[in-house]
Amino acid sequence: RGLASMSLREVQTMAGQKNKSAAQYHFGSREGLIEAVLTSRMAAVSARRFELLARLDATDGPSRLRDLVEALVLPVAEHTVARAGSHWARFVSQCIADPDAVAVVQRSVEGASYRDVQSRLDRHLVDLPEPIRSRRLEHAVGLAFNSLAAAEASRDAGVTPRLPIEAQINDLIDVCVGILSQPPSPATLAATRRGRRRQETHT
């Protein structure tokens, strides 16, 4: 029924917890429960991401853009569509779309390993001006979670995928690379400059 319909009381009932104040005591609020779920799941994702980054650091020469995007996307994919019965990508996608939960996602999903990849991407994409660079990364992360969520749902519905899981994940990485590497059009750059001038005028 969607994240917006979730209440602590209902979660407590579904979990078979008879103590009516247990969820409130342990998590404090609905957002506290969401953050606990995200944080617990992100621990393994972060560990895997740091492993991929360490592997890149052990190689000679600069990291390719695709290697960095793989470190960003692959750990999430491995813990969602690559695991039978996963609902986690759908859960995160709903959290991103929920105004009350999006700040929780930023604290939990965008942890130390995410910030490490982000800083490396910033150095790699210096030709992409801010704030376009940050917006592109937000688009890439949002697309990754939404794509993985759709793949989870299709799998659970028994839909035969067009591509095997490994190919789906690699294609998703390719698409995210495309989002980050595409040069901004003259129209986008001009509109960005106009927006900055308006902001400077108002301030």
pLDDT value of position 182: 95
The Cα 131–Cα 129 span in angstroms is 6
pLDDT value of position 84: 87
Q: What are phi and psi of 55, to 5 degrees?
A: -65, -40
Helix (H, G, I), strand (E, B) or coil at 128: coil
The Cα 15–Cα 17 span in angstroms is 5
pLDDT band at 8 (very low <50, low <70, confident <90, very high): confident
* pLDDT tens figures, 98-120: 888 888 888 877 788 999 999 99
Say what the pTM is. Answer: 0.87
pLDDT score of 19 more than 80: yes
In this prediction, residues 152-179 reach a mean pLDDT of 94
pLDDT value of position 23: 83
State the DSSP H helix or E strand holding residue 175, giving kind and residue range, or none if neither: helix 165-181
* pLDDT tens figures, 119-155: 999 999 999 998 899 999 999 999 999 999 999 999 9
The residue among 37 and 3 whose pLDDT is bigger is 37
In this prediction, residues 155-182 reach a mean pLDDT of 95
52 close to 74: Cβ distance less than 8 angstroms:
yes
Percent of all residues in the chain with a pLDDT value above 90, rounded to a whole number: 55
Q: Residue 170 CB: number of other CB atoms within 10 A? A: 17
